[in-house]
Structure 1
Amino acid sequence: MAESAGSVMLARSAMNRAATEGQRPAGRPVRGARRISAALAGLAASTRYELLTFDDPVASAGCAIPEPFLELAGACMRAAAERAGEVRRIVPRHALPRLEDGPRIPGRARLAESIPFKMIVVDRTVAAVPLDLELLYNGLLLIRDPVVVQALARAHHACWAAAEDLTYAPPPPPPPRDLPPQLRPVLDALVAGLTDETAAARLGMSARTYSRRVGELMAALGTTSRFRAGAEAARRGWL
């Protein structure tokens, strides 16, 4: 924890020095919903191999932020994550319920007790930090200074090492559908191991009709394997 706190202080110090001592500012301020949206879209489009974030999905709760902006910002982050080969997202523990209920972002995620500020680092060449350190909607600082970007990446690395892996619970299975009555004899014949010819004769239907009913049963069970059909039927309580 001490190492991560020290790295965060180093990152903030690097931003301050770049802004006050250097010939160029630490980054370019971007304000206004339209320009911020364009900046986020540009970050997503430029992502090639790595995406690092400090993210708090509940930070915007209760704030007067237009829903279209939130949807676009989320879509940009999902697009960036899909393009990146490595995604590391650190979120505060209090955001866990939102993560479990909301749309999933590809890549790895870890839980921390808190995050120092919201941040996006793309390919370790460009970073975006909210001007108020909380909400991108209020403006962001687009940073390309290599010293500052590397300091932010190092802070993320230290916090990542101290955080714990986030594992999502598997989604519940879909509710079982009722077996159509006309397919019950077909299922019984399959489970009994009858050949198609024998089953068709016993059920009083042509081989073509029986084959069609078998196809309907497979589609209802979501499988193309007769062996798996029996197991899936048992799982659904159809046997």
Structure 2
Amino acid sequence: MDRGTRQAAQATGTAAAAKREDIREAVAQALDESAFHANQGIRPPTLVVPPPQVGHAAARFSRTARHEMLMFDDPSGCLDQGVPERKLVHVANCMRGAAAQVPAVRQITSRQGLLRDAPIGTIAWQQGAHARLIPRIPFRLSVIDRTVALLPLDLDVFYNGMLVVRDPVVVAALVRVHQGWWSSGEDPGADRPAHELPGYLAPVLGCLTEGLTDAAAAARTGLSRRTYARRVSELLALLGAASRFQAGVLAARRGWL
């Protein structure tokens, strides 16, 4: 790397770090403002979940999701800060369940996080969730159906305690932050060969070729009927098929069967 390239990279890194700190400070200020209004009885109060209860509380909230989950997550940071891997495995199981049941799961992580997460599966983009990669997440976050937000007490590790935010002003602001980073992130599946069948669609293709009804296929795959139908549509679009029968024919030609 020549000097000019190195200086440009350093400048980009410095700018990204400054942006991250600005966002974290803005979140802290928004929480302080929310607490002030909650004390006046104007907005819903923020609930503090102590460390021993975080895992169960987070799992309970994820099961309530019906439409959408927006997340900042980076398992590599958790591993570096001493979070037990068994805790991450628990989170991974919750995320796989969410990816199977919730129509839209959007996770933002870092490339390092995605690589270190491979044996764990917290980032469920290969199970039907959608993901974007950025150099470093600004903080950890989970927004459920745009009505409740889960934040770590220290903004970094849920394991150390969690905030449950229902203030609609704060939740809307966190959604906007997520959308901004999402639009600038990199799709981890962009480098996947066009001829390759995404792993999370393989069970759907199998059900199609067996001629199962949507109800039977949803039961077999553990998906809701709505999510199963959505993945069928995604498979047809991927193959350029006009019907389920044609999808089977085109999949066979590609060697997917």
Q: What is the TM-score normalised by the length of structure 1?
A: 0.62
Is 1:38 the equivalent of 2:38?
no
Is 1:54 the equivalent of 2:76?
no
Native 8 Å contact 2:150 2:162 kept in 1: yes
1:108 CA displacement: 0.9
Equivalent pairs counted in the alignment come to 175
Which residue type is aligned with residue 146 of structure 1?
A: P
Deviations 1:167-196 (A, max 9, x none): 17479xxxxxxxxxxxxxxxxxxxxxxxxx
**Aligned mates of 1:70, 1:150 — CA distance in 2:** 27
Alignment partner, residue 47 of structure 2:
28
**Aligned mates of 1:26, 1:11 — CA distance in 2:** 16
1:94 CA displacement: 2.6
Alignment partner, residue 114 of structure 1:
136
Alignment partner, residue 217 of structure 1:
none
1:165 partner SS: coil
Judging changes above 3 Å, is the alpha-carbon distance between structure 1 residues 169 and 65 closer, same or farther for their aligned structure 2 residues? same
**Aligned mates of 1:98, 1:67 — CA distance in 2:** 11
**Aligned mates of 2:76, 2:56 — CA distance in 1:** 23
**Aligned mates of 2:23, 2:81 — CA distance in 1:** 30
**Aligned mates of 1:90, 1:111 — CA distance in 2:** 6
Q: Which moved more, 1:75-84 or 1:111-120?
A: 75-84
Q: What is the TM-score normalised by the length of structure 2?
A: 0.58
1:90 partner SS: strand
Judging changes above 3 Å, is the alpha-carbon distance between structure 1 residues 99 and 65 closer, same or farther for their aligned structure 2 residues? closer
Q: Is the radius of gyration larger for structure 1 or structure 2?
A: 1
Give structure 2 stretches of 5+ with no counterpart. 1-14, 197-251
1:93 CA displacement: 2.9
Judging changes above 3 Å, is the alpha-carbon distance between structure 1 residues 55 and 16 closer, same or farther for their aligned structure 2 residues? same
1:101 CA displacement: 4.8
Question: What is the RMSD of the two structures over their aligned residues, measured on CA atoms?
Answer: 3.1
1:36 CA displacement: 0.9
Native 8 Å contact 1:8 1:155 kept in 2: no
Which residue type is aligned with residue 183 of structure 2?
A: A
Alignment partner, residue 150 of structure 1:
172
Give structure 1 stretches of 5+ with no counterpart. 172-227, 233-239
Is 1:13 the equivalent of 2:29?
yes
2:108 partner SS: strand
Alignment partner, residue 98 of structure 1:
116
Native 8 Å contact 2:23 2:138 kept in 1: no
Listed as ranges, the matches of 1:185-204 within 5 Å are none
Query: Of 156, 159, 162, which residue of structure 2 is paired with 1:137?
Result: 159
1:64 CA displacement: 3.7
Alignment partner, residue 235 of structure 1:
none
Which residue type is aligned with residue 56 of structure 1?
A: D
Q: Which moved more, 1:89-98 or 1:44-53?
A: 89-98
Deviations 1:188-226 (A, max 9, x none): xxxxxxxxxxxxxxxxxxxxxxxxxxxxxxxxxxxxxxx
**Aligned mates of 1:159, 1:129 — CA distance in 2:** 17
1:114 partner SS: coil
1:87 CA displacement: 1.3
